[in-house]
Structures are given as structure tokens and as C-alpha cells.
Chains A and B, each alone.
Chain A
Amino acid sequence: MNRRTRLWLVAAGGGGLAVLLVAACLELPAFGGASHPYGDRAVRASLSRHTANTIASVNFDQRAYDTLGEMTILFAAVLGCVVLLRQTRDEHRARPEPEEVAPPVRRYALVVLPVALLTGLYVIAHGQLSPGGGFQGGVVAATALHLLYLGADYRALERIRPVGRYEVGDAVAASAYVITGLACLIGGTAFLANTVLPYGTFNTLSSGGTVPLLNAAIGMEVACAVVVLLARFLDQAVEIEEESGK
């Protein structure tokens, strides 16, 4: 099937799909309508459990089992990357030479790194209060670590980021999520059910029962996963070379 027939097939299929999509869009309820049955119930359930951020309550309380699935997908994707990007026999690891960076950029990276790390932890900790949560805070914290690569060079980053520890951290955080769920089971209720811990007072750091715990577990898991992911890509792009120097 050469390129031309394939393009014709894409055009025909795309055209049909476009017609169906537009027809469906015209039938959808008007944008901005007021009937959100699930939304109202989710807000009521979240407020009944003293969780200020309803989205965190949906993610870590009402649909905590789904988030377990999401976390497993994330863990499997990072595992796949680690396996695919490993150093094979016909490759050797070349030492990355130190990189000379303009002083203002280096100062900026060293100043912003702790601020970004702090912001990432703040976003994780306030996950069940203000906008944020484990997923976003984990990515912000992991990106903050790589400021050292951007501001200085790869050797500086490797010194402060032992990859083995982050892989262990990834696994520990993933199992912490499951253990919290089992603790709820042992506590006499369903797996991952938020009826064991007291809900605390509304809009405080300890409110929401198990939501903060699951939030922290997901935050650590996403942060470690992104660090391991970027470590593998950086190794491939910066250090690992073919045996014949290619």
C-alpha cells in the first residue's frame, strides 16, 4: 500500500469522522448548561468529609481505586522506559565533561532550585485544600531537581541524584498507597475507603481523613517516577555511546 492510497484512506476516514463529530457536537447539551448531577453529588460528598478541594476528594476518596489504576499505569510506563533505555552490551558510558555556563544563568538556577522544590512540596501538601495535589506537585518537584542540569552540568546533577534511591522511592511510594488502602481494610471498612481516620476541621492541613496520606504517596511516587524517567533519557542522550564511538 503505497503512500498515495494511504493518504486517500486517511482523507476518506478523516472526512467521515469529521462529519460524525460535528453531528455529535450539535446534539450535545449547550455549553455552560446548569445540569451537572454527578458534580453536585461529588461536591456534597466532599464537603461531608471536610475536604476543601473537591477534585482531590474525587481523586483520592470517591475514586481512590481508579487512582490506584492510574498510578499503576504510570509505574508501568516508567518501568518500560527503564527497561528500554538500559545500556546494552555494545555500548559504553562516556564521562560527561564539565560544562561552562554563563554566571547569571548558574546563579539563577541555584537560587530558583530550592524555591521550586519548596513550591512542589507546598503544592503536594496543600493538595486537599487549594488547587494542586500529588500529581502536579510531584512533577514540579522533580523538574526543580533538573534545574541543576540546566544551570550547571550533568555531573553536578548526578552527584546529588543517586538514581537507585529514586527507583526504591518510586516502589516504596506505590506500595505506601496500597498499604494505606489495606489499613482501611483492616480498620473494618472497604479497601481505600475514607472512613477510618477522623476528618478533622474543614480547610486545615489534616482535614479529609486518608486524602492527605494518599496525596502524599502519589506525590512521592510521581516525583520519583519523573526523576527516574529523566535520568534514563539524560543517560541515553548525554552519556551512553556505541562501542565504535558512534
Chain B
Amino acid sequence: MHVLPYLVAAWVFLAGCYGLATSRNLIHAVGCLSVCQSATYVLLLAVGYRDGGTAPVFSDLEPGSRPVVDPVVQALALTDVVVGATVTALLLALVVQISKRHRTVDPDELSELRG
């Protein structure tokens, strides 16, 4: 149990990379990239966890009454989730452009269209 979260993060990252490398459709590849990104959130939050800890949000909790988990990693992961979504949108916009110009979204066919 002490190393399971880190292994799950590593597994999700490797699965995303495998999907990215062997994908036959660029939209599928963008989905695999977002899987890779979510692996980093799992690793970040697993590093910040404390046994028996709760969230450092004191709207309904007396400060200091219970141990709290690490807020810094949560702040990192929080902004990255939203920025990751807009970067995924930018990649999808690129895929739309590629399908307009080259009439295909298969990366193998694309590499043969040299100019």
C-alpha cells in the first residue's frame, strides 16, 4: 500500500505513452495525451497525502484540530487541470487544420505527404 499510488501513476503514464505512440488517429492520440497528463495529477496528490489528514480548507473545520494534507501540490494540480483542457483544445484545433489541409488524420499517412 505504501508504493501503490506511485505505481498506478507510473502505469497510467506508460499506458498514455503507449497509446500516443501506436495511435492510428490523431484525435485518439490527443485523448491519450490527456491520459498522460492525468498521471501527473495522481503522482502529485499521492506525494502530498498524509495518513488521517483532511483537506486544508477551514471553512467548516477548526484550524489545527485535525492533521491536514499538503496544499501546495493541490494548488499545482488545480491550475494544471484547467490549463491542460485548453491545451487539449488547441491540439484538437490543430487536428482540424490538418484534416482540412491533408484530408486525413492518420499519422502514418501524414508522414508520407512530404510537402
Interface residues, chain A, with chain B CB atoms under 8 Å away: 3, 6-7, 10, 14, 17-18, 21-22, 24-26, 28, 30-34, 36, 38-39, 42-43, 46-47, 52-55, 57-59, 63, 66-67, 70, 73-74, 77-78, 80-81, 84-85, 126, 129-131, 133, 135-136, 138-139, 202-203, 222, 225-226, 229, 232-233, 236
Contacts and interface: CB of A to CB of B under 8 A. Distances in A.
Interface of B: 1-7, 10, 13-14, 17-18, 21-22, 46-51, 55-60, 63, 67-72, 74-75, 78-83, 85-87, 89-90, 92-94, 96-97, 108
Given A39-B72, A130-B59, A25 B89 contact: no
Contacts of B86: 73-74, 77-78, 81, 225-226, 229
Contact of B10 (A18, A32, A43, A222): A18
29 contacts: A7-B22, A10-B21, A10-B22, A21-B10, A22-B7, A32-B2, A32-B49, A38-B70, A38-B72, A39-B56, A42-B72, A43-B56, A46-B71, A47-B63, A52-B58, A53-B57, A66-B79, A73-B87, A77-B83, A78-B89, A126-B59, A131-B57, A133-B78, A136-B82, A139-B85, A202-B58, A222-B82, A225-B86, A233-B89
B81 to A, nearest CB: 8
The 3 A-B pairs at the shortest CB distance, nearest first, are namely A39-B70, A25-B6, A32-B51
Contacts of B17: 10, 14, 17
Given A31-B1, A58-B75, A70-B79, A14 B14 contact: yes
A66 B72 CA distance: 12
A25 B87 contact: no
A42 B71 contact: yes
Contacts of A203: 58-59
Contacts of A17: 14, 17
A85 B75 CA distance: 32
Contacts of B93: 80-81, 84-85, 232-233
